[in-house]
Every structure is written in C-alpha cells, then in structure tokens.
Amino acid sequence: MQLYFKKYGHGQPLLILHGLLGSSGNWHSLSRSSFGRFWTTYTLDLRNHGRSPHAPEMTYAAMARDVLEFAQDLHAGNVHVLGHSMGGKVAMELAIRYPHVVDRLVVVDVAPRAFENRDASVIRAVKSVDFALHRDRKSIDRALADHFESPPVRQFLMKNLNHSRGRYEWRPNLDVLERAYSGIAGPLTAKGVFEGDTLFLRGGRSDYIRESDMADIERRFPAARVVTINEAGHWIHADAPDEFSREVTHFLSDLVDAK
C-alpha cells in the first residue's frame, strides 16, 4: 500500500505516525519548525486515514507492513520512527517485527498493553453526523458539540473533513475503524523484543502509561527510558510542544552524535 505523506527538511529519515482519527497534518507545525531542521521528516497518513488508501484489514501487523514498505522505498538505510497513541503502537509493532529497519524509536504516550474501549464512542459519534442535514462547517461543529463539549476536540475531528462534489464527507474509513476497534485497542500482536534505543514520552496528566506498565516496557524494550512531561495530557506534542520537541531532538541528536 502506498501511504500518503508530507515531507520536511533533510537528513536521516524520521517517520512520524499519527493516532486514531489523526493524519499527517497533525504534525505539520513541529515537523516544519523543529524536526525538519535535523532530519528528513515524513509525516504519514496510516491506512484508512487521511489521504491514504482504504482497506478492509486494520491490524497492527498490516499497518507495520505499510510503514516497512514506505521505509524500504526510501532506499535510505534505517530510519527513526516516532508514533503517538495508535501510531505509537504501530511504531512498536514495526520495531519488534522489523528491527533492522528502525534506528531509534520514540513512543508517545501509549503502552504496549490493551486499553479500554474509550474511543469506540468517538467513532460512533463521528459516524452519526448526517451530512444531508449538516452542509457547512458551522453546522457540522454544532452536530459534534452534542457529543464533544471541547472545541479543540471538535477542531481535531473536523480536520478529517473532505469537501467534494458540493458536500462534506469524512476522509477516514469509519466503518472499518469501528469494526476493527477492539484490535486497535488491544495489545501489540508482535512477539519478542526491540533492543534498540527507545524513548517513551508520557504525559503527567495522562493515564496511557501507568507505573504498572513499566515492567512490560522494560521487558519488551530493554534499552528504553521513560520521560514524563508533567504539564501535558495525552496530546503531549500539542500541550507542551517546546518541551516535547526538546526531548525528542535531544534523544535523537545525542545518540547520533555519540556514534
């Protein structure tokens, strides 16, 4: 599968993988202002998201294969990989299954375990918007407000809108995401460990990486270190972009300089 991507800067490749209902555009600001100064930064649309193709299979193994093919097509040797939430699980799956491709791994606020079905209702709520009734962005925002009080959450979801042939539609393949959600919320399917250098970033106001997850992280990623950004929630890169950027840049640059 050929994934849609955006490209910034120059240097060793850094692949950035978004979370559920995200897209490559979520990472535009940081990629342009920070990461692109040091690495050729590729922000990808994962399958069934953004402008990438739709497909009936939505497993971590399939998503990892897509990213593997993308990395191989670059013909640039091994790559750094950064993933947030669902994208963090894809990044972990990729690193464990295909460690020869991954140089350094950054996992943003997600553990390798199963999670509660906390986002299943989000997909259902997004699917419930009737575009025959809601034909402009203000009306769609009001429809989403019945389910999501937070304007930033609604703004994030509305980045998935596509206007085509005089009406709006959702870019993600919501039917497949809904059917596959139990697997998306489930644990990694890859067996084994990734012994390469790994950074886990967790938000101090998030519960996606708990103290009880540390033993499993250490077992599966023995070279990992975990850094907490205290003032951030699950969306660390949005809540604390400067500190997030410093941690990632220091981690990757320090290791590169030490070679």
Active site residue 10: no
CATH number for the domain spanning 232: value is: 3.40.50.1820
- Cα–Cα distance, 189 to 5 (Å, whole number): 25
| pLDDT at residue 118, as a whole number | 77
Q: Are residues 24 and 94 in the same domain?
A: yes
pLDDT surpassing 60 at residue 131: yes
Residue where a domain terminates, one of 178, 206, 227: 178
3-state secondary structure of 141: helix
If you average pLDDT over residues 111-139, what whole number do you get?
A: 92
Q: Are residues 166 and 252 in the same domain?
A: no
Angle between helix axes 151-158 and 137-145 (nearest 10 degrees) is 130
Q: Are residues 24 and 59 in the same domain?
A: yes
The active-site residue out of 136, 175, 207, 254 is: 175
| pLDDT at residue 119, as a whole number | 86
Q: Are residues 103 and 199 in the same domain?
A: yes
Structural domain that includes position 194 = 5-115+186-257
Q: Are residues 199 and 164 in the same domain?
A: no
Residue where a domain terminates, one of 157, 178, 199: 178
Q: Read off the pLDDT of residues 20-70 as tens digits, 9 standing for 90 and up.
A: 999 999 999 999 999 999 999 999 999 999 999 999 999 999 999 999 999
| Cβ–Cβ < 8 Å for 32, 160 | no
Torsion, CA 195, CA 49, CA 179, CA 62, rounded to 10: -40
Q: Are residues 164 and 192 in the same domain?
A: no
CA-CA distances (angstroms) from residue 144 to 20, 140, 205? 17, 6, 25
Q: Are residues 19 and 48 in the same domain?
A: yes
Q: Are residues 40 and 138 in the same domain?
A: no
Active site residue 85: yes
> Which residue has 């709520």 as its token pair?
125
Active site residue 245: no
Residue where a domain terminates, one of 178, 202, 219: 178
| pLDDT at residue 257, as a whole number | 47
- Cα–Cα distance, 70 to 24 (Å, whole number): 14
CA 165 to centroid of chain Cα atoms = 30
Q: Are residues 131 and 103 in the same domain?
A: no
Q: Read off the pLDDT of residues 196-227 as tens digits, 9 standing for 90 and up.
A: 999 999 999 999 999 999 999 999 999 999 99
Pairing between β-strand 161-164 and β-strand 167-170 as defined by DSSP bridges: antiparallel
| Cβ–Cβ < 8 Å for 105, 217 | no
The DSSP annotation for 183-213 comes to HHSS-----S---S-EEEEEETT--SS-GGG
- Cα–Cα distance, 186 to 256 (Å, whole number): 33
- Cα three-residue angle 121-159-154, rounded to 5 degrees: 50
Q: Are residues 92 and 193 in the same domain?
A: yes
Proportion of the chain above pLDDT 90, given as a percent: 92
- Cα–Cα distance, 243 to 250 (Å, whole number): 10
Total domains in the chain come to: 2
The active-site residue out of 18, 49, 84, 234 is: 234
CA 147 to centroid of chain Cα atoms = 23
Beta bridge partners of 196: none
Pairing between β-strand 102-108 and β-strand 79-84 as defined by DSSP bridges: parallel
Assigned token pair, 224: 């990992």
The active-site residue out of 31, 85, 103, 237 is: 85
3-class SS shares of the chain: helix, strand, coil, % to 5: 40, 20, 40
Spatial neighbors of 175 by CB under 8 A, at least 6 apart, are 127
Q: Are residues 249 and 149 in the same domain?
A: no
Q: Are residues 106 and 233 in the same domain?
A: yes
